[in-house]
Amino acid sequence: MTRLLRRTPLSAKLEPSPILQLTSYTDYAFRTLIALACVAPEKLTVGEISESYGISLNHLLKVVQRLAELGYVETTRGKSGGVRLVAAPSALTLGAVVRGMEPELGVVPCLRRDEQPCVIAPACRLKSILSEATHQFLASLDEHTLAEIIEPKPRVTRLLKLTARAN
Protein backbone atom coordinates (compact mmCIF):
# COMPACT_ATOMS: atom_id res chain seq x y z
CA MET A 1 0.00 0.00 0.00
CA THR A 2 1.35 3.36 -0.98
CA ARG A 3 0.77 6.27 1.36
CA LEU A 4 0.87 9.81 0.23
CA LEU A 5 2.57 12.16 2.59
CA ARG A 6 1.15 15.59 2.86
CA ARG A 7 3.60 18.31 3.51
CA THR A 8 2.55 21.08 5.80
CA PRO A 9 3.80 24.43 4.60
CA LEU A 10 6.43 25.91 6.91
CA SER A 11 4.27 28.99 7.41
CA ALA A 12 1.49 26.82 8.88
CA LYS A 13 3.87 25.37 11.47
CA LEU A 14 5.01 28.71 12.79
CA GLU A 15 2.93 30.42 15.39
CA PRO A 16 2.33 34.07 14.67
CA SER A 17 4.67 36.27 16.64
CA PRO A 18 3.68 39.65 17.95
CA ILE A 19 4.63 42.58 15.78
CA LEU A 20 5.04 44.74 18.83
CA GLN A 21 6.26 43.44 22.14
CA LEU A 22 6.43 45.49 25.30
CA THR A 23 9.30 44.93 27.69
CA SER A 24 8.96 43.37 31.13
CA TYR A 25 9.75 46.88 32.44
CA THR A 26 6.42 48.13 31.07
CA ASP A 27 4.63 44.95 32.10
CA TYR A 28 5.84 45.44 35.67
CA ALA A 29 4.75 49.08 35.53
CA PHE A 30 1.22 48.02 34.60
CA ARG A 31 1.20 45.38 37.34
CA THR A 32 2.39 47.92 39.91
CA LEU A 33 -0.23 50.47 38.89
CA ILE A 34 -2.97 47.81 38.99
CA ALA A 35 -1.99 46.75 42.52
CA LEU A 36 -1.82 50.35 43.74
CA ALA A 37 -5.12 51.25 42.10
CA CYS A 38 -6.76 48.35 43.92
CA VAL A 39 -5.82 49.78 47.32
CA ALA A 40 -5.85 53.52 46.50
CA PRO A 41 -5.54 55.88 48.28
CA GLU A 42 -3.64 53.61 50.66
CA LYS A 43 -0.09 52.38 50.04
CA LEU A 44 1.75 49.14 49.51
CA THR A 45 5.42 48.33 49.87
CA VAL A 46 7.38 47.34 46.79
CA GLY A 47 8.02 44.02 48.54
CA GLU A 48 4.27 43.40 48.88
CA ILE A 49 3.73 44.10 45.19
CA SER A 50 6.69 41.88 44.27
CA GLU A 51 5.35 39.06 46.42
CA SER A 52 1.80 39.39 45.07
CA TYR A 53 2.98 38.90 41.51
CA GLY A 54 5.99 36.69 42.17
CA ILE A 55 8.34 39.06 40.35
CA SER A 56 11.84 40.34 41.07
CA LEU A 57 12.03 42.94 43.82
CA ASN A 58 15.16 44.50 42.27
CA HIS A 59 13.46 44.98 38.89
CA LEU A 60 10.35 46.33 40.56
CA LEU A 61 12.33 48.93 42.51
CA LYS A 62 13.59 50.38 39.21
CA VAL A 63 10.07 50.38 37.80
CA VAL A 64 8.66 52.19 40.85
CA GLN A 65 11.43 54.77 40.62
CA ARG A 66 10.45 55.50 37.01
CA LEU A 67 6.73 55.63 37.88
CA ALA A 68 7.59 58.18 40.58
CA GLU A 69 9.62 60.24 38.08
CA LEU A 70 6.58 60.25 35.79
CA GLY A 71 4.40 61.49 38.66
CA TYR A 72 2.13 58.44 38.71
CA VAL A 73 3.14 57.25 42.18
CA GLU A 74 4.54 58.73 45.36
CA THR A 75 7.12 56.92 47.44
CA THR A 76 7.72 57.27 51.16
CA ARG A 77 10.72 55.85 53.00
CA GLY A 78 10.88 54.58 56.54
CA LYS A 79 8.96 52.27 58.81
CA SER A 80 5.57 53.43 57.57
CA GLY A 81 6.82 53.91 54.01
CA GLY A 82 5.50 52.53 50.81
CA VAL A 83 4.19 53.46 47.41
CA ARG A 84 0.91 55.24 46.75
CA LEU A 85 -0.88 55.92 43.48
CA VAL A 86 -1.22 59.67 42.97
CA ALA A 87 -2.54 59.63 39.40
CA ALA A 88 -6.29 59.28 39.08
CA PRO A 89 -6.96 55.80 37.62
CA SER A 90 -9.73 57.20 35.43
CA ALA A 91 -7.35 59.79 33.94
CA LEU A 92 -4.27 57.60 33.44
CA THR A 93 -4.34 56.09 29.96
CA LEU A 94 -2.52 52.91 29.10
CA GLY A 95 -0.89 54.71 26.17
CA ALA A 96 0.60 57.32 28.51
CA VAL A 97 2.10 54.56 30.65
CA VAL A 98 3.67 52.86 27.64
CA ARG A 99 5.08 56.13 26.31
CA GLY A 100 6.53 56.95 29.73
CA MET A 101 8.08 53.55 30.28
CA GLU A 102 9.27 52.93 26.71
CA PRO A 103 10.23 56.20 25.03
CA GLU A 104 12.12 54.18 22.37
CA LEU A 105 9.16 52.08 21.25
CA GLY A 106 10.26 51.65 17.63
CA VAL A 107 9.53 48.11 16.46
CA VAL A 108 12.53 48.20 14.13
CA PRO A 109 15.86 49.98 14.62
CA CYS A 110 15.13 52.69 12.04
CA LEU A 111 12.23 53.92 14.19
CA ARG A 112 14.46 54.37 17.24
CA ARG A 113 16.69 57.34 17.89
CA ASP A 114 20.43 56.91 17.73
CA GLU A 115 20.24 53.71 15.69
CA GLN A 116 22.35 53.06 12.62
CA PRO A 117 20.12 53.64 9.57
CA CYS A 118 19.53 50.81 7.16
CA VAL A 119 21.18 51.14 3.75
CA ILE A 120 17.79 51.35 2.02
CA ALA A 121 16.37 53.94 4.44
CA PRO A 122 16.16 56.72 1.82
CA ALA A 123 13.88 54.58 -0.37
CA CYS A 124 12.18 52.33 2.19
CA ARG A 125 8.43 52.60 2.68
CA LEU A 126 8.35 50.05 5.52
CA LYS A 127 9.50 52.62 8.08
CA SER A 128 6.46 54.86 7.55
CA ILE A 129 4.08 51.89 7.63
CA LEU A 130 5.52 50.56 10.90
CA SER A 131 5.57 54.07 12.35
CA GLU A 132 1.87 54.45 11.54
CA ALA A 133 1.13 51.03 13.08
CA THR A 134 2.93 52.07 16.27
CA HIS A 135 0.92 55.31 16.41
CA GLN A 136 -2.33 53.36 15.95
CA PHE A 137 -1.30 50.91 18.68
CA LEU A 138 -0.66 53.77 21.12
CA ALA A 139 -3.86 55.54 20.05
CA SER A 140 -5.78 52.37 20.84
CA LEU A 141 -4.16 52.19 24.29
CA ASP A 142 -5.05 55.87 24.82
CA GLU A 143 -8.71 54.86 24.66
CA HIS A 144 -8.36 52.80 27.85
CA THR A 145 -7.54 53.80 31.42
CA LEU A 146 -6.13 52.19 34.53
CA ALA A 147 -9.61 52.34 36.05
CA GLU A 148 -10.92 50.03 33.33
CA ILE A 149 -8.31 47.34 33.75
CA ILE A 150 -8.73 46.91 37.51
CA GLU A 151 -12.37 45.94 37.19
CA PRO A 152 -13.72 43.93 38.89
CA LYS A 153 -11.64 45.60 41.60
CA PRO A 154 -12.61 43.31 44.52
CA ARG A 155 -11.72 40.21 42.51
CA VAL A 156 -8.37 41.60 41.33
CA THR A 157 -7.55 42.68 44.89
CA ARG A 158 -8.43 39.23 46.21
CA LEU A 159 -6.38 37.44 43.53
CA LEU A 160 -3.35 39.57 44.41
CA LYS A 161 -3.94 38.99 48.13
CA LEU A 162 -3.50 42.70 48.78
CA THR A 163 -3.97 44.48 52.07
CA ALA A 164 -3.53 48.25 52.03
CA ARG A 165 -1.21 49.98 54.46
CA ALA A 166 -2.74 52.86 56.37
CA ASN A 167 -1.38 56.36 55.88
Instruction: Dump pLDDT digits (tens) for 75-98.
Output: 999 888 899 999 999 999 999 999
Predicted TM-score (pTM) of the model is 0.80
Query: Is the pLDDT at 36 greater than 90, yes or no?
Result: yes
Q: Crossing angle of helices 24-39/94-101, nearest 10°?
A: 130
Query: Is the pLDDT at 18 greater than 80, yes or no?
Result: no
Give the Cα separation of 134 and 35 in Å (integer).
27
More confident residue, 37 or 122: 37
- Domain parsing of the chain, residue ranges: 21-92+147-167, 94-144
More confident residue, 130 or 56: 56
21-92+147-167 is classed in which CATH architecture? Orthogonal Bundle (1.10)
In the chain, count H helices and then E strands.
8, 3
Cα-based distances in Å from 63 to 29, 89, 97, 144:
6, 18, 11, 21
93: helix, strand or coil? strand
69: helix, strand or coil? helix
Strand partners of residue 82: 76
